[in-house]
Each structure stands twice: as structure tokens, then as C-alpha cells.
């Protein structure tokens, strides 16, 4: 065997939020991993790399905790104590209050950059992980017994299984010929961070405007102004978004204020703006011979419910459990039986969430009068129904469904 060939249990392609967490979870579960990412990790934390913040459900927080990420980011998170959903300026709204669930918070807001910073620290220092970044795979061959990848520097990696975690554009998925179903919402998610005069009191707000949802999500503030920073996801029509993105700072702020309102006092934009085209997509299969797909490589959804990463972390927790159980039992971790277990466990749940987010997006991204009336009455009715409201709150916490061990707070 050449010096430059490495053999591991699992090759994870894409070491971002999902792939990086998966690599750590697999290593904790006793598997050896090669984690390849095409980006230079030293660029991951630049203010221009990824401006998003993610709403992390309680169950996802448990996964980040289990792999050591949470300890490194805890001081950079903000709890979500309340959620307020309103249809434009309608007086009818839905308010979820964490006190109605015995005081447990719904989840936490964390900037993607913080998670990346933790991955940057953990991945190169984990014994069972070979972290290769920046690096890219130039050839991937899968036969009955193994997957073999050739990297762009000529080195090779052999693994019993390759997992594609490269996000929505996944060469691993494409190399296996797995078809993708995809449609565009003709919307763009404009993302920025704002500082406001009054504290948000850890309440996440979502206003449904005719062009789509407008979310104000609580971030930790600064020592001088605690609770006075929020992440904005402003959904805009795809044809108007470039115009908004092209405005100078003052005009952009004025447009933002029209949508944000003045309930938190004066506003200031901090840092750059980002634009993400919004689409729905799902892979027609999550597995192939010696291959699995996870997170956005398998399914990408509208951010209306803040569930994309949460669903991806469910894939991660299930894969880590299924593969570590197989390894402990001495089974072939890349076998069809093991991969089918993963696909059976995750496919229905992800498909359901894709359908729900798709329906919500269509229902709430318009100004059709009868629809608006129906959804306003719907929001107000749920607000008055304690048991249905509690069920929705548990969904937001991610504690409903067939949870894998890492999401229940148990070890692998
Ligand atoms: C505006 C917006 C707001 C959102 N808010 C939320 C939220 O509040 N909560 C939530 O749960 N989800 C949210 N999401 C969804 C969430 O951001 C994604 O689901 C999540 O980033 C997916 O993680 P991932 O690791 O699969 O992909 P990515 O984050 O895209 O990471 C992919 C990684 O693979 C690497 N890569 C790419 N190609 C290659 C290659 N060829 N070879 C090697 N490496 C490669 C990249 O460098 C990157 O590191 C939001 C999405 C948007 C657009």
C-alpha cells in the first residue's frame, strides 16, 4: 500500500455544520473517520463567510453537547424563551410562551460562525478523525467492498462507507446518479444582523408579509447592550431581492425598518448582508452502494420554520447510532442492511417536514384576502387551544418523534 493511502471506516465529504458534527459523533461512537472539506478552515470564521444564525432545537442542542461543540459555543448562544407569529399587521397572532411548558426554553439561537469556530478547534484534535481541509475529491469509486477516493493532491482514502454532506450541491450524490427533485420558491432570504435600542427579551418573532416571512431572531447582545442584537431573515421576491441588496446602507436600513417596525426602538445594521436563493429539494434516495447522504445533501427546505439544520442533525444522530451499533456488533457498516435502517428511520420524518414547510410557505407568502382571513383565524384559534399549542411547542423543541440516542441525551 502506498504511503499516501489511508484506510478508515467512514469518509465524510463536506465538514460543515452537519458533516463536521457527524465526523465528531462517529469518532465518539468508535469509528475512524476522514473528513474532507473543500474550504480552508481559516476562512470559516470571516465575517463574510456565512452570515446566518440558526435556531437550534433542544434535541439538536443535545447532539452538539454530546460531541463537545456546545461547551465551546454556550457563551455565544441566546435562549429562545418565547415565539410570536403574526400575519403582517393583523391583531390576531400566535404566542408560544416557555412558561406554558414548565419553563423549558424552545431552543437556542447561535451564529453558524460560532459552530464553525468550534469545529475548527475540535476536528483537527480528535484522534479518530483525519481532517483534510482545504481538499477536494477528484475521483470516487465504489465497489462491493469499499469506497475509494482520490484527492486533488493525489492521495487516496479507502473507506467502508462514504457519506455526502456537501450541502445542496453534492458531487457525492451526483456521482451515484441519485436524482434530485427540486423547485424554486422564486424567493431570496436576505440575512443580516441588527442592533436595536431595546432588548428582545429572548423572543423570536415571525411576521408573514406578502413577499414571505420576515423573522427577527434573538442573539446574545454585547456587555454594554445585553439582549439588543438580532439576526434577520427577510424573505423577498427573487426579482426584488437584487434591488434591495444593491441599496446603499441608509436606504437598505429604511426598507428594513418598514418591515421590522419600531417595537425594539432604533435600529442599526452590523456587518454585511447576505442573500440565499430559496428552494426545496430532495434526493430520491438517501443511500446507494457504500454511500449515504445526510442533511442538505439529502434534503433542503425553506427556512420558514428554521428546521433545515435541525433535520440535518437528526440524520447525523441516527447515522452515528446505526453505524456505531453495527461496528460494535462486528457487522459491515457499509452493508445494504445497515444503510436501509438509516433510510427507513429518516426518510419519512424529513419528507413530512419538507411537506409542512412547503405548505406553510405557500400559505403565508401571499396577500390573497380569503387565505389571509383563514390563516389569521387559524393562528388565533391555535392560540386559544392549550393542548394543540403544547404539541406545536414540543415540535419546535424537537422532542417529538422517534428520537435517536444522542437527541435523547444518551451516549452511543
Ligand atoms: C436564510 C437561511 C436561514 C436558515 N435558518 C435556519 C435555522 O434557523 N435553523 C435551522 O435548523 N436551519 C436553518 N437553515 C438551514 C441550514 O442553514 C442548513 O440546513 C445547514 O446549513 C445545512 O448544513 P450542511 O452541513 O448540510 O451544509 P452546508 O452548511 O452547506 O455545509 C456544506 C459543507 O460542505 C463543504 N463542501 C461543499 N462542496 C464540497 C465538495 N465538493 N467537497 C468537499 N467539501 C465540500 C462546504 O465547504 C461546507 O463546509 C437556514 C437556511 C437559510 C438559507
pLDDT in tens, 196-206: 999 999 999 98
Cell of 194: 441588527
Long-range contacts of 331-334 (CB under 8 A, 24+ apart): 332/160, 333/9, 333/10, 333/31, 333/160, 333/161, 334/146, 334/147, 334/159, 334/160, 334/161, 334/290
* pLDDT score, position 356: 83
Distance between Cα 17 and ligand 1 center (Å) = 6
Tell me the CA–centroid distance for residue 16 and ligand 1, in Å.
Answer: 7
Distances (CA, A) of 46 to 21, 114, 118, 304, 384: 20, 11, 14, 26, 45
| Model confidence band, residue 1 (pLDDT cutoffs 50, 70, 90) | very low
Distance from the alpha carbon of residue 165 to the mean position of ligand 1, in angstroms: 9
Residues 6+ apart with CB under 8 A from 18: 165, 294, 295, 296, 309, 312, 313, 315, 316
| CB of 41 closer than 6 angstroms to any ligand 1 atom | no
Rounded to whole angstroms, how far apart are CA atoms 381 and 371? Answer: 15
Characterise 347 by phi-psi region: left (phi > 0), alpha (psi -120 to 50), beta (else).
alpha
pLDDT score recorded for residue 299 = 98
Q: Compute CA distances 98 → 2, 156, 231, whole Å.
A: 58, 51, 20
Q: Phi and psi dihedrals of 38, rounded to 5?
A: -80, -15
- Is the minimum distance from the CB of 313 to ligand 1 under 6 angstroms? no
Q: Are strands 129-132 and 33-36 parallel, antiparallel or unpaired?
A: parallel
Task: Give the count of beta carbons closer than 10 Å to the beta carbon of residue 363.
Answer: 16
Grid-cell match 463536506, residue found: 14
Report the C-alpha gap between 407 and 387 in whole angstroms: 24
Domain boundary assignment for the chain: 5-182+280-408
Residue nearest (by alpha carbon) to ligand 1 atom 52: 303
Torsion of the alpha carbons at 306, 308, 313 and 318, rounded to the nearest 10? 120
Cα–Cα distance measured from residue 67 to residue 73, given in angstroms and rounded to the nearest whole number: 12
Rounded CA-CA distance 355/358 in Å is: 5
**Is the separation of the CB atoms in 322 and 290 below 8 Å?**
no
User: Residues 236, 55, 113, 19: is their CA dihedral positive or negative?
Assistant: negative
1 vs 131, residue with greater confidence: 131
Q: Whose CA is nearest to atom 27 of ligand 1?
A: 167
Nearest CA to ligand 1 atom 17: 309
DSSP 198: S
**Of 23-32, 96-105, 138-147, where does mean pLDDT reach its minimum?**
96-105
Least confident of 42-51, 61-70, 274-283, 305-314: 42-51
Nearest ligand 1 atom to alpha carbon 310: 11
CA 406 to ligand 1 center in whole angstroms: 21
3-class SS of residue 193: strand
At residue 386 the predicted structure's pLDDT band, cuts being 50, 70 and 90, is low
Q: Residue 11 has which C-alpha cell?
A: 469518509
Give the model's pLDDT for residue 394. Answer: 72
pLDDT for position 360: 78
Cα–Cα distance, 19 to 202 (Å, whole number): 29
What is the CA(381)–ligand 1 centre distance, in A?
Answer: 35
| pTM of the predicted protein model | 0.95
For ligand 1, pick from 15, 17, 302, 357 the residue to mutate: most ligand atoms within 8 Å of CB: 17
**SS3 label, residue 13:** strand
Q: Is the pLDDT of residue 86 over 90?
A: no
CB-ligand 1 contact for 23 (6 Å cutoff): no
Nearest CA to ligand 1 atom 3: 303
**Cβ neighbourhood burial of 263 (10 Å; 0-12, 13-18, 19+):** exposed
CA of 69 from ligand 1 middle (Å) equals 17
- Are 180 and 60 spatial neighbours (Cβ–Cβ below 8 Å)? no
pLDDT bracket for residue 375 (50, 70, 90): low
Look at residue 91 in the predicted model and tell me its pLDDT: 64
As a CATH number, domain 5-182+280-408 is 3.50.50.60
Task: Tell whether omega for the bond before 297 is within 30 degrees of 0, i.e. cis.
Answer: no
Cβ–Cβ under 8 Å, residues 275 and 50: no
Counting ligand 1 atoms within 8 A of each CB, the residue from 135, 166, 187 with the most, and so the one to mutate, is 166
Among protein residues, the one whose CA lies closest to atom 51 of ligand 1:
303
Amino acid at each position: 500500500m502506498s504511503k499516501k493511502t489511508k484506510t478508515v471506516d467512514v469518509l465524510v465529504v463536506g465538514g460543515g455544520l452537519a458533516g463536521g458534527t457527524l465526523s465528531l459523533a462517529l469518532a465518539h461512537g468508535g469509528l475512524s473517520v476522514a473528513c474532507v472539506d473543500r474550504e480552508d478552515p481559516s476562512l470559516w470564521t470571516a465575517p463574510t463567510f456565512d452570515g446566518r444564525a440558526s435556531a437550534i432545537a433542544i434535541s439538536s442542542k443535545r447532539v452538539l453537547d454530546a460531541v463537545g461543540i456546545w461547551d465551546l459555543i454556550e457563551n455565544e448562544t441566546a435562549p429562545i424563551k418565547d415565539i410570536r407569529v403574526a400575519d403582517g399587521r393583523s391583531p390576531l397572532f400566535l404566542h408560544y410562551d416557555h412558561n406554558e411548558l414548565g419553563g423549558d426554553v424552545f431552543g437556542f439561537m447561535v451564529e453558524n460562525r460560532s459552530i464553525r469556530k468550534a469545529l475548527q478547534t475540535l476536528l483537527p484534535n480528535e484522534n479518530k478523525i483525519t481532517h483534510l481541509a482545504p481538499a477536494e475529491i477528484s475521483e470516487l469509486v465504489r465497489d462491493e467492498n469499499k469506497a475509494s477516493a482520490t484527492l486533488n493532491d493525489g492521495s487516496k482514502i479507502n473507506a467502508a462507507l462514504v457519506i455526502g454532506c456537501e450541502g445542496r450541491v453534492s458531487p457525492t450524490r451526483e456521482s451515484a446518479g441519485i436524482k434530485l427533485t427540486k423547485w424554486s420558491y422564486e424567493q431570496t432570504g436576505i440575512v443580516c444582523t441588527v442592533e436595536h435600542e431595546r432588548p428582545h427579551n429572548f423572543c423570536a418573532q415571525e411576521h408573514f408579509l406578502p413577499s414571505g416571512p420576515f423573522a427577527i431572531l434573538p442573539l446574545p447582545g454585547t456587555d454594554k447592550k445585553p439582549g439588543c442584537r438580532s439576526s434577520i431573515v427577510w424573505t423577498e421576491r427573487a426579482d426584488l431581492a437584487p434591488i434591495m441588496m444593491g441599496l446603499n446602507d441608509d436606504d437598505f436600513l429604511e426598507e428594513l425598518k418598514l418591515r421590522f417596525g419600531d417595537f425594539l426602538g432604533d435600529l442599526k445594521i452590523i456587518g454585511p448582508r447576505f442573500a440565499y436563493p430559496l428552494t426545496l429539494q430532495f434526493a430520491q434516495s438517501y443511500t446507494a452502494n457504500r454511500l449515504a447522504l445526510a442533511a442538505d445533501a439529502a434534503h433542503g427546505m425553506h427556512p420558514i420554520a428554521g428546521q433545515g439544520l435541525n433535520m440535518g442533525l437528526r440524520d447525523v444522530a441516527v447515522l452515528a447510532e446505526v453505524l456505531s451499533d453495527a461496528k460494535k456488533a462486528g457487522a459491515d457498516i457499509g452493508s445494504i442492511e445497515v444503510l436501509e435502517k438509516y433510510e427507513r428511520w429518516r426518510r419519512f420524518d424529513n419528507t413530512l417536514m419538507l411537506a409542512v414547510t412547503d405548505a406553510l410557505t405557500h400559505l403565508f407568502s401571499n396577500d390573497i384576502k380569503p387565505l389571509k382571513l383563514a390563516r389569521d383565524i387559524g393562528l388565533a384559534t391555535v392560540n386559544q387551544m392549550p393542548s394543540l399549542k403544547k404539541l406545536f411547542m414540543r415540535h419546535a423543541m424537537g422532542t417529538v418523534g422517534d428520537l435517536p440516542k444522542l437527541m435523547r441525551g444518551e451516549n452511543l
